[in-house]
Amino acid sequence: SYVLTQPPSVSVAPGKTARITCGGNNIGSKSVHWYQQKPGQAPVLVIYYDSDRPSGIPERFSGSNSGNTATLTISRVEAGDEADYYCQVWDSSSDPPYVFGTGTKVTVL
């Protein structure tokens, strides 16, 4: 099965930029989706198809994907961005086809 690796934690000061990586073999050839999960809440889709934002998601959230790494970037970080973030891909050649990353806890200092 396909494996997605994320750093367990990222710390960032308010107003700075947080970058969360998602590593996978040739992940650049797949579409990556990102979810934000705040404590006690369901995940929310924040980036889809590598870099698109659903309506209602601030422009501060952006994504990129190339080679073996996809990245979720949160600019001008706010206290409300503190959450767990998960990347996810759909890989038709993998079983299971839907794979989530290991998750990254973003802490706002």
Q: Are 22 and 71 in contact (CB under 8 A)?
A: yes
The Cβ of residue 57 has, within 10 Å, a number of other Cβ atoms equal to 17
The answer, yes or no, to whether the previous bond of 96 is cis (omega within 30 of 0) is: yes
Q: Binder to another protein among 35, 61, 71, 108 (CB under 8 A)?
A: 35
Q: Cβ 60 to another protein, closest distance in Å?
A: 20
Kindly identify the residues of this chain, within the stretch 73-102, that bind another protein according to CB under 8 A. Answer: 86, 88-90, 95-102
Can residue 46 be called a binding residue for another protein (CB under 8 A)?
A: no
Q: Cβ of 83: how many Cβ atoms within 10 Å?
A: 21
**45 interacts with another protein by CB under 8 A:** yes
Tokens standing for residue 94:
């993998």
Interface with another protein (CB under 8 A): 1, 31, 33, 35, 41-45, 48-49, 54, 86, 88-90, 95-103
